[in-house]
Amino acid sequence: MNRKTQIALFVLTFFLLPFAGAQQKARVKVEQADRQIYDEAFSKEIELLIGNVILRQEGTRFFCDSAYLNTKKRNFEAFGNVHIAVNDTVDVYGDRMHYEGDTRVAELFGNVRLVEKSTTLTTDHLIYNRVTKTAFYDHGGTIVNGDNTLTSKRGYYHTESKIFYFRKDVVLTNPDSETYSDTLIYNTNNETAYFKGPTVIRGKESIIYCEAGWYDTERDISKLNKRPVISSSEQTITADSIFYDNAASSGKAFSHVEILDTLHQVVINGKYGEMWDEQGISYITDSVVAITYEGTDSLYIHADTMWMYFDKKRNAKRLLAYYTVRFYREQMQGKCDSLVYTMQDSTIRFYTDPVLWSAENQLTADSITLFVSGNRVDSLLMYNTAFIVSTDSTDTFNQIRGKNMTGYFRNNDLVKIRVDGNAQTVYYIREDDGYLIGINLAEASSMDIRLVNSEVNAISYKTKAMEKMYPEKDFPPEMRTLKGFSWQEDLRPQNKYDIFLELRPEAATGESGADDGQQLVND
């Protein structure tokens, strides 16, 4: 089947059959021609029209330099400066045209243009159906509408609804972005593009991928569906659907939201999020979990809501987690009401009733700052009512209390503690076989404590200390715990899944609603 036959079948299927028999056989009339020649020897049905030719069928006029008119079959061939004045707003131009008067279908060739107000379609081959008011091209076409330029291999345009349909290698360009798609629908009335297949939108600072959605080029807003992805140099945002206002540099993400920061190796997952690029702010909420994935000892953090702050280059600066924060990594766990992670200096600050667990030690204070280097805990600061507790037996505890404390780590293990201000200790001294030698109570303005295998090995005092060793039988019961003692081992996350247990009371029965976050942890 040759190309001409294929085109004819397409026209018959999509443009003619629905209207077969519905049209009156209106005559094609000659309104003007400089010369009108009829040569019976050449053809009994065809007359030659030359110079400033104007033909008319019903309310449509056809202009050309010359034409062959078949009055019996109501068709004609037009040559040179071909122009169809479809109506007051639509005009079609070309170098050559074949017109079928019975079907009202025009086929134009060479330098074809369809012009409608601010929209211009250019191609080398166009089929225009006056009945359906539809134009079709299949040899590549370009549409210019305001600041938007669209190109594709195939497409058709409904001049009445002002809607273009594009297929194969579709490209939409404007001053703000370039869009590449397999199938795209463009409405010239509202200047909105609708995506119906794999689509890539390249902006000045980001790349968007989606498989369905729309883009309002006039208002510069878009709605992306079917798991869209927005990628910048260091960050990727994914969700079930995303609404984005490019003019305001803000957006909203819905369901299964994920933010991936490759620079700092952090992934955040939740059910809803919003972003404000100009201000460098985004947040994600509902079953939120963040994971730092450098090395083998990943850090898992869960909270009700997390905020991310970025610099002008979209590099993450700070992560803020609010309400019921819990985190887990193999060598350290914790909980607090709110948390601040600063990327530049790799510090994590815990606020409002923070608790950290490191091996056998529980650390509490009014606030705690953790310093991380190379994904390893380097040191920590504990401010106001700092307290370190570890179990001696099932009902006795070693305790260190002071105003402020500084802890030092080696290979993520706590090895040294410096206590500044009102330092107090309760320490059970035992032989290697576990035999209790006595219970040591000490007070000083400051002291240094060294640990081996997470257990106290030595205590040194910077100032004069009050120290006393008690035999177990003489140890006063009221001195067993220091002021402010609180043992919270039952709240300690035992694995990466436990960070969700405090989300809702029913979580303790295995009915937690944090499915999305748990799925990310599973992955």
Q: What pLDDT is attached to residue 12?
A: 44
Structure confidence at residue 1 as a pLDDT band (50, 70, 90):
very low
pLDDT of residue 244: 86
Tell me the DSSP string of 413-478: EEEEEEEEEEEEEEEEEE-TT--EEEEEEEEEEEEEEEEETTEEEEEEESS--EEEEE-GGG--GG
DSSP string, 173-196: EETTEEEEEEEEEEETTTTEEEE-
Residue 39 has pLDDT above 80, yes or no: no
Q: What tokens were used for 388?
A: 């370190």
Which amino acid is residue 39, in one-letter code?
D
Task: Say how far residue 281 (Cα) sits from the centre of its chain.
Answer: 14
pLDDT greater than 70 at residue 5: no
Residue 31's pLDDT is what? 93
Distance CA 279, CA 263 (A): 20
Q: Does domain 22-129 have CATH number 2.60.450.10?
A: yes
Categorize the per-residue pLDDT at 52 as very low, low, confident or very high, splitting at 50, 70 and 90: very high
Beta-bridge partners for 460: 448
Residue 171: predicted pLDDT: 92
Backbone torsions φ then ψ of 360, nearest 5 degrees: -90, 0
Q: Rounded to whole angstroms, how far apart are CA atoms 33 and 271?
A: 71
pLDDT for residue 57 is more than 50: yes
Q: Residue 167 forms beta bridges with which residues?
A: 154, 183
Half-sphere exposure at residue 98, Cβ-oriented, CA atoms within 13 angstroms: 7
Q: Is residue 308 within 8 Å of 281, Cβ to Cβ?
A: yes
Which of 8, 27, 24, 25 lies closest to 16 in space, CA to CA?
Answer: 8
CA distance 332 to 413: 9
pLDDT per position as a tens digit, 117-143: 888 999 999 999 999 999 999 989 999
**The predicted structure's pLDDT at residue 66:** 95
Rounded to 10 degrees, what is the CA torsion of 484, 485, 488, 489?
A: 160
Q: At 322, which amino acid appears? A: Y
* Fold for the domain defined by 331-492: lipopolysaccharide transport protein A fold (2.60.450)
pLDDT higher at 22 or 168 = 168
Place of tokens 């019961």: 477
Give pLDDT tens digits for 459-475.
888 778 888 999 988 88
Residue 296's pLDDT is: 67
Q: Is the dihedral of CA 303, 309, 310, 316 positive or negative?
A: negative
Q: How far apart are CA 73 and CA 75, in angstroms?
A: 6
Residue-wise pLDDT tens digits, 246-278:
778 788 999 999 988 777 778 888 999 988 877
Give the whole-angstrom CA distance, residue 18 versus residue 103: 11
Mean pLDDT of 183-202: 88
Q: Give the mean model confidence (pLDDT) for residues 47-71.
A: 93
- Identity of the highest mean pLDDT range in 185-189, 365-369, 375-379, 453-457: 365-369
Q: How far apart are CA 509 and CA 491, in angstroms?
A: 15
Structure tokens at 86: 């479809």
Give pLDDT, residue 100. Answer: 93
* Res 345: pLDDT: 83
Whether residue 407 is predicted with pLDDT greater than 60 in this model: the reply is yes
Task: Band the pLDDT of 9: cuts 50, 70, 90.
Answer: very low
Q: Check: CB of residue 222 under 8 Å from CB of residue 216.
A: yes
- Decide if pLDDT at 443 tops 70: yes
Q: Which of 23-27, 124-128, 182-186, 348-352 has the lowest mean pLDDT?
A: 23-27
Torsion angle (degrees, nearest 10) of CA 73, 77, 81, 86: 30
Please tell me the distance from the alpha carbon of residue 402 to that of residue 417, in angstroms, as a whole number: 11
* Two tokens, residue 355: 């608790």
Share of the chain above pLDDT 90, in %: 37
Residue range 487-493: mean pLDDT, rounded: 91
Q: What digits encode the pLDDT tens for the residues 354-375?
A: 999 988 889 999 999 998 877 6
C-alpha span between 307 and 339 (Å, rounded):
10
As a whole number, the mean pLDDT across the chain is 84
Taking the alpha carbons at both ends of the chain, their separation in whole angstroms is: 53
Residue 501 pLDDT greater than 90, yes or no = no
Could you tell me where the DSSP H helices lie in 39-122?
none
73 or 15: which leads in pLDDT? 73
Using CA atoms, how far apart are residues 377 and 324, in angstroms rounded to an integer? 22
The two three-digit tokens of residue 285, written as one number:
């909420």
Q: Which sign, positive or negative, has the C-alpha torsion 498, 504, 509, 514?
A: negative
Give pLDDT tens digits for 205-240.
778 889 899 988 888 888 999 889 888 767 788 999
Torsion angles phi and psi, residue 472, rounded to 5: -60, -40
Distance of CA 27 to the CA centre of its chain: 59
- For the cut 90, the answer to whether the pLDDT of residue 308 exceeds it is no
Question: Token pair for residue 296?
Answer: 């083998």
Q: Rounded to an integer, what distance in angstroms lies between the CA atom of residue 204 and that of residue 452?
A: 55
- Name residue 81's amino acid: N
pLDDT at residue 16 greater than cutoff 90: no
User: Using CA atoms, how far apart are residues 163 and 153, in angstroms rounded to an integer?
Assistant: 17
Identical fold for domains 22-129 and 331-492, yes or no, is yes
- What single-letter DSSP state applies at residue 27? P
Domain coordinates of the chain in residue numbers? 22-129, 331-492
Question: Tokens in use for 307?
Answer: 């905020």
Could you read off the pLDDT of 88-100 as tens digits, one per residue?
A: 889 999 999 999 9
> With 70 as the cut, is the pLDDT of residue 283 above it?
yes
Considering only CA atoms, which of 247, 376, 366, 237 is closest in space to residue 314? 237
